[in-house]
Amino acid sequence: MKILIVSDTHKHNENLMDVLDKEKGLDMVIHCGDSEGLEDSIREKIRCPLYIVAGNNDFFSDLSNELVFNIGSKRVLLTHGHYYYVSMGIERLAEEAMARDIDIAIYGHTHMPKMEMVGNVTVINPGSISYPRQIGRTPTYMILEVDKDDNFVYTLHHYEPEY
């Protein structure tokens, strides 16, 4: 299984659309919020399940604030992260995930990629594919691959357009 994880496109889907063309064989797309009303154009482009949540800039959206679903044997919590104050640290999000028997917590909001184990919870942020804030400011996304033995491999990708 091959899963694309993105966040914080902020009404600028150009990079995302390019990645969707380049990353072949996707089985799922996860968007951590702040699509700013363009979730329908994302849905139209992909041919696999899309899990997407509302971010702090998704005003008037009917998207859920968070979703819980399974990938293989793992329970996943998807949230934008602002309700868990992730800009100040991931402790609250990790505590919530542990309290709810979540294996993987995926969030956005900070525009900075991060992956960390907190207890038994894998906490990941793919960064922003449109407006990165980390040193170097390269747009990022993650690919999660799950093999037939239920092994999970996360890879951070730096988006660089082909001219």
- Tell me if 95 is assigned to some domain: yes
Per the structure, the complete domain to which residue 150 belongs is given by 2-158
Q: What pLDDT, on the 0 to 100 scale, is given for residue 163?
A: 64
Query: 163 in a domain, yes or no?
Result: no
Q: Look up the CATH number of the domain holding residue 105.
A: 3.60.21.10
Tell me which residue of 100, 150, 152, 94 sits closest to 142, measured CA to CA: 152
In a domain, 68, yes or no: yes
Distances (CA, A) of 153 to 13, 47, 115: 26, 22, 12
Tally of structural domains, the chain? 1
Q: Give the pLDDT mean for 1-13.
A: 97
Contact indicator for 76, 55 with CB cutoff of 8 Å: no
| pLDDT band for position 42 (cuts 50, 70, 90) | very high
Q: Is it the case that residue 145 has pLDDT exceeding 80?
A: yes
- Residue 66 tokens read as 């968070």
CB 146 within 8 A of CB 25: no
Instruction: List pLDDT tens digits, range 20-40.
Output: 999 999 999 999 999 999 999
35 assigned to some structural domain: yes
Please, which pLDDT band fits residue 162 given cuts at 50, 70 and 90? confident
Average pLDDT over the chain, rounded to an integer: 97
Asked if residue 146 is part of any domain, the answer here is yes
Q: What is the pLDDT of residues 66-121, one digit of tens each?
A: 999 999 999 999 999 999 999 999 999 999 999 999 999 999 999 999 999 999 99
In angstroms, what CA-CA distances link 49 with 12, 14, 123? 21, 20, 21
pTM across the whole model: 0.97
Percent of residues, the chain, with pLDDT higher than 70: 99
